[in-house]
Chains A and B, each alone.
Chain A
Amino acid sequence: MFVAVKGGEKAINNAHKLLAETRRGDTSIPEISIEQIEQQLSLSVDRVMSEGALYDRLLAATAIKQARGDLIEAIFLVRASRTTLTSFGYSQPLNTSEMQILRRISATYKDLPGGQVLGPTFDYTHRLIDKNLEQTNNFPTAIKAPASNEATPHVLGLLSDEGLMEQPPTDTDAEPNDLTREPLSFPADRDTRLQSLARGDEGFLLALAYSTQRGYARTHPFAGEIRFGKVAVEFTPEELGFSLELGEIQITECEMVNQFTGSKNTPPQFTRGYGITFGQGERKAMSMALVDRALRAEELSEDLVAPAQDEEFVLSHCDNVQATGFVEHLKLPHYVDFQAELELVRKMRAEQNVNQNQTREAAE
């Protein structure tokens, strides 16, 4: 006699044990440590912190280990962990012009105050698999310049001084919207859009950014500046009334310079697209800056013609934790709904059969 599918609990427990065992892999090979992940898979850690919206390198490394290297799964773990934390306030805005630069490039000026600093980059490497990496302890040593005290002003600030750059929005002292406190609603202001993009999926933003370059809402971008380095995080406790430095974090910031032909109210000038990530995340920061600029189409009276300009489309679909959950939920049982559909299709087919038989009889 058939036994209806029962005993899910036991199956789940066993599946979870099997998962843990698979994660560990062959036990004759040493287990990877959190510190190794944090140090040697640092770009994975950076991405998990960015899209997980939580700056905690060791937690992100642990999540990567637990997720067997699946970064979206690791981002999800970090987000869920973030939920349990109590919010005690907002930091002061980061002062990125005071950044301790580890890398800083501009595609718009050959040389500029503070200089071009290549830093650790894949750019200009030949993408040849390095067989040396099969062995350990085999790497060259870089010559490091002493830390410079030269100021590194933002490139877009230099353009602003000449009046060629749109004026940045005035600081209203208004508290920016916080998506983790207030749900997304439309139309969304730029602060909300930027927060949403900063948490958004790198791959999705990359594809959208690419689409703007291929003509789906062209914005004529130049990489005005990309900088990566350390900035101080400051916090002002209400009781004190002055700010304290909580520590330093690494961030990547990208400012795109976009051509703008001007509108009826505005003379031709350059406009800005902005991107930021935790750690070193140039691809994401650049993509974000392009999408940010594309989403300003309405504000700048440009024609709305492409997906990258559609804030409901972009913001509703850029979060990979939401997206992966809903796509993967199709794995959950849908017996009841399927049963309801099955019954309907059978009924409709039966009705069609009756009709056809009647027609046939009438014809005979």
Chain B
Amino acid sequence: MSQSIISPAIISPATQIDPNYNFAYLNEQTKKMIRRALLKAIAIPGYQVPFAGREMPMPYGWGTGGVQITASILTPDDVLKVIDQGADDTTNAVSIRKFFQRTAGIATTLNTSTATVIQTRHRIPEQKLQQGQILVYQVPIPEPLRFLEPRETETRKMHAFEDYGLMHVKLYEDISQHGHIATTYAYPVMVEDRYVMDPSPIPKFDNPKMNNNPALQLFGAGREKRIYAIPPYTKVVSLDFEDHPFEIQAWDQPCEICGAGDSFLDEVIMDDQGTRMFVCSDSDYCQSRSEVQS
């Protein structure tokens, strides 16, 4: 099977820092402000902490929240991995990785278990995370109640008062119209029995991985200027009904490259005849399994 996966070197070593910028782009004032917001977020799991997000040199909606968090927590010894849609080599992941190589000069990796900080858009790696690792999510719309109640003044009250009936109205409506809950990604969760949280647009397949995870999970929404967090070993439960329990996606076949039967699969269209191939969306997981086999 021919594949043009990037070089197998586990760590790309530290590079030269662009002298025009402070370490990791942000000035130290800004990093302090973000770290304070992060500490508050960790202290109140699932609660959205407002922070004065800055304009970053990539557009809003392209991961500026995640980038600001990563920039604020990086140390020169960190090893960074960046994924988008589960893959290290999608264009935006490449762009963000290069940004930190240029402004922080840190080592980078494609390997999940080697990384100390992983910035992600839309996926949680298949490989189990370890204590000490930090997963930074890019979040477009942090407010799980937003499409039910557009007003910020009202949604903040709903969180404050634990007034979450509306969230289940949405799930009820799914079942009554479709026979089952039709939310497939950005599936809302309850954190530590208190705050309803949007897990960012990860597929619901990844939701169970958030629960009791040994790694620290940080969420950054740059445009909406919110930070939230799930500390290690925190209870995270996907919302559901007793008689319509939460369930994750399943595929009829394993990955056609590595044979994995437990990973999220992307569908790739092979030709104009409708031929399709299903492969792991997590490129590191797929590659490391393939290497073991060959």
Contacts and interface: CB of A to CB of B under 8 A. Distances in A.
User: Do A's and B's CB atoms come within 8 Å in the complex?
Assistant: yes
Interface in B17-63: 21-22, 25-27, 29-30, 33, 50-57, 59-62
Contact of A333 (B90, B249, B268): B90
B175 interface: no
A326 B222 CA distance: 11
Report which residue of A7, A86, A335 has the largest number of chain B beta carbons within 10 angstroms of its beta carbon: A335
Interface stretch (B1-9, B163-171, B210-218, B229-237): B1-9
Contact of A325 (B185, B203, B223, B225): B223
B185 A184 contact: no
Nearest to B50: A183
B54 A180 contact: yes
Interface string A104-136: 000000000000000000000000000000000
B180 to A, nearest CB: 8
Q: Which of B29, B94, B205, B279 has the most CB of A within 10 A?
A: B94
Contacts of A80: 55-57
Nearest to A86: B27
B59 to A, nearest CB: 3
Interface stretch (B81-89, B128-136, B191-199): B81-89
Contacts of A4: 3, 268, 279
Nearest to A83: B54
A5 B203 CA distance: 21
Contacts, number: 163
Nearest to A1: B2
Contact of A326 (B61, B268, B279): B61
A341 B184 contact: yes
Nearest to B204: A340
Given A83-B54, A182-B52, A336 B60 contact: no
Nearest to A75: B55
B4 A84 contact: no
A187 B153 contact: yes
B210 to A, nearest CB: 16
Interface stretch (A8-16, A166-174, A237-245, A290-298): A8-16
B54 A337 contact: no
B162 interface: no
B91 A11 contact: yes
Given A187-B153, A339-B281, A326 B27 contact: no
B179 interface: yes
A263 to B, nearest CB: 23
A325 to B, nearest CB: 3
B113 interface: no
Q: How large is the interface on A (under 10, 10 to 19, 20 to 34, 35 or more residues)?
A: 35 or more
A322 B54 CA distance: 11
A326 B178 contact: no
Interface residues of B, number: 70
Contact of B55 (A9, A76, A342): A76
B92 A325 contact: no
B27 A84 contact: yes
A289 interface: no
Contact of B30 (A83, A332, A351): A83
Contacts of B90: 8, 333
Interface in A34-93: 76-77, 79-80, 82-87
B29 A86 contact: yes
B225 A184 contact: yes
Interface in B119-151: 121-123, 140, 150-151
A7 B87 CA distance: 11
B49 to A, nearest CB: 9
Nearest to B2: A1
Interface in A334-354: 334-337, 339-344, 348, 351
Contacts of B56: 80, 83
Given A8-B91, A336-B266, 12 more contacts: A4-B3, A7-B6, A12-B94, A180-B52, A185-B50, A324-B60, A329-B62, A336-B86, A336-B264, A339-B266, A340-B185, A348-B182
Interface of A: 1-4, 6-9, 11-12, 76-77, 79-80, 82-87, 179-187, 312, 316, 321-322, 324-329, 332-337, 339-344, 348, 351
22 contacts: A1-B1, A4-B3, A6-B3, A8-B90, A12-B91, A83-B25, A83-B26, A87-B29, A180-B52, A181-B33, A312-B153, A316-B152, A325-B223, A328-B59, A329-B61, A334-B201, A335-B85, A335-B281, A336-B86, A336-B185, A339-B267, A343-B184
Interface of B: 1-6, 21-22, 25-27, 29-30, 33, 50-57, 59-62, 64, 84-86, 89-95, 98, 121-123, 140, 150-153, 178-179, 182, 184-186, 201-205, 223, 225-226, 249, 264-268, 270, 277, 279, 281
